[in-house]
Amino acid sequence: MIEIELWWLLALPLFFGLGWVAARIDIEHVIRESRALPRSYFKGLNFLLNEQPDRAIEAFIEAARIDPETVELHFALGSLFRRRGETDRAIRVHQNLVERDGTLTELTDEQRLHALSELGQDYLKAGLLDRAEEIFQKLRSTSRDEEALRALIEIYQQEKEWAKAIAMADALPDHADHMWQKEIAQFRCELASSELLHGHAAEARGQLAEALKANRKCVRATLLEGETAVAAGDLAAAIEAWKRIEQQSPVYLSLAAEKLMEAHRQAGQAEQGLQLLRGYLERHPSLDLLDTAFRAESEQNGPEAAHQLVRAELTRNPTLLGLDKLLEAQVLVAPPERRAELELVRNLIHNHTRRVARYRCDHCGFKARQFHWRCPACGKWETYPPKRTEEFDLTP
């Protein structure tokens, strides 16, 4: 035991000395490298850390002017320009890197690919889609292939080139392609909608089958299947298609409610369709579903029945939008001498509920008065559940 302790006492100073030497070498290396960098480079970093991007850019421009061989500094500068929306300046920075000749430090192959990718992102941000597409096509089959594919998918979505977008998504590596199944299904739905518009029912059905193969929970494909069946005169098939939405995602039932009711009317089964809507409303409360059921009940059984429907729903799920609908129903059944008073109260409530009657994107929070399959702000698919803002606020 004593021998071991003596051995450690002898070894510890040796280990300490070796560590000191290694640290000294590292520090000297860092000092040598830092001295080689322009002082304005460190000023730029300081401004960035203090969240002063304008002054940081000025400092980085000065550093790049003093030392044009600092490649990574040019990348940082171009990225800052793009984030600020100064895409023309970002393009010039990255073009200079791509076109750099032997008079300056030669770029490695990876740096050149990086510069090309950044230039493509600049063009994409600037809306120069044809130039961005050309750049990212050049990056195919390189180390930046996956990055190029994702950018090309975005370009083709903006250009509404859905078939090309599908081809790019299918070309993604195995570890990434499954992440795009929802989007691929939506691309198929876009193609199906176009086919239906031109009267090509068979082609539309083929696209919808592929959409559901990619994503069996694609409600939009099921909605379009029903519309295709109606166009073919098969009301029963349309009704069955739309009823499947309850198993796919019941929150989307409100999108099919009016279609279901109309199909039942055309089939001479209006009361059966209304009963179906009542059941959906009880199991899956929704303000949009309530609105459709209210109108259907009023047309089928009169204002008093519609009033009772809304009253029962408001008791189960109290909301301002539900109260607005209840007041609308009360105006219909009220005696003439009370209607003016009720109209006044309803108008006050209605003006207040406008701000909670919008749809909201789950991804970016953008609000809109109408439902979208793709968010107009962030471009994400299926992030707009057909629920009003008030329903989000009431959700635990």
Of 195, 231, 226, 197, nearest to 212 by C-alpha is 226
218 is in an annotated binding site: no
Residue 364 annotated as part of some ligand binding site: yes
CA 293 from chain centre, in angstroms, equals 31
Bridge partners, 374 (sequence order): 381
Distance, in Å, from the CA atom of 58 to the CA atom of 47, rounded to the nearest integer, reads 10
- Determine how many CB atoms are found less than 10 A away from the CB of residue 340: 10
Is 189 annotated in some ligand binding site? no
What SS3 state is found at 144? coil
- CA-to-CA distance for 251 and 286, rounded, in angstroms? 8
Backbone angles phi, psi at 84, to 5 degrees: -85, -5
Q: Is 375 annotated as a binding residue?
A: yes
Q: Answer whether 68's CB lies under 8 Å from 104's CB.
A: yes
Per-residue CA distances from 183 to 172, 190, 219, 313, 391 (Å): 13, 11, 13, 35, 26
What separation, in Å, do the N-terminal and C-terminal C-alpha atoms of the chain show?
65
Q: How many CB atoms lie within 10 A of CB 138?
A: 15
Strand partners, 360: 367
Matching residue, tokens 């876009």: 190
Q: Write out the binding residues.
A: 361, 364, 375, 378
Q: Write out the binding residues for Fe cation.
A: 361, 364, 375, 378
